[in-house]
Amino acid sequence: MYKLLIVDDEREIRNGLCNYFPWGEIGFEVKGQCENGKQALEFLKENSIDVVLCDIKMPVMTGIDLARELHGLKNRIKIVFLSGYKEFEYAQKALIYNVRNYIIKPAKYSELVDVFTKIKAELDEEASDEMKSLSISCTTEDVKANTNYHDRIITNVKTFIKENYRDVTLEKAASLVHMNPYYLSNFFKQKTGENFSDFVIKAKMEKAAELLGDINYKIHDISDSVGYSSAKNFTRAFKAHFNKSPREYRNSSL
């Protein structure tokens, strides 16, 4: 799923777009909503987002200002403008800042589907091109340099997971190594032979097993410390990993 941020100063429009349009069916997930460009810019500093669906006319910071800021930062986030204003000037500025499309309010269901289906295809193609670039033939020295670089990325990601096992996400790891989350997921699988999510679970379970060696820790405390809000879900995950419940594992190790 590609990550989407919706920015509009009208709460009803934001809520409608977030809750009543089937984003998941076309490959997107709404990760947040903001009421102006400044708020969106702050959100983007802390979160990995692929596409911003943004109103143009907003208080504090307009959609044009937000697009200008992201363009100046050479950010790869794709922007789609949503506005009730039809003036050509706005559309022209959108082109200057490489905005992907311009939708007039009220947005038609079919138009949203069409626009975002095309954007998903672009994102898929970009991720595919990045993956293909890994297999381009190089000199022996280039191959060695690339291998070392890729190994460092994987090492950094694994270390990040092990140090932040409680609340680590693919988006946070991707931001760390300056990659698209979708690309990092494929890259990690290609280089390690296991899924990113499986490695995260393994890190959680290994830490849980370590904590179970200390009888001062209660099982529900260990569950919380490795990021499970439900002890039942933690027990299920632990048993799937070790073929023993946490209690059985503790008894056998002691």
How is 10-59 classified by DSSP, letter by letter? -HHHHHHHHHHS-GGGGTEEEEEEESSHHHHHHHHHHS--SEEEEESS-S
What value does the CA radius of gyration of the chain take, rounded to a whole number of Å?
A: 22
Say what the pLDDT of residue 88 is. 59
Q: Is the pLDDT of residue 200 over 70?
A: yes
Say what the pLDDT of residue 234 is. 92
Every domain of the chain with CATH number 1.10.10.60 lies at 201-253
Is the CATH code 1.10.10 the one for domain 136-197? yes
CATH architecture group of domain 201-253: Orthogonal Bundle (1.10)
Q: Is the pLDDT of residue 60 over 70?
A: yes
Say what the pLDDT of residue 87 is. 59
Domain 2-130 fold is Rossmann fold (3.40.50)
As a whole number, mean pLDDT of residues 61-72 equals: 88
As a whole number, mean pLDDT of residues 201-224 equals: 93
Instruction: Output 96 or 99, whichever has higher pLDDT.
Output: 99
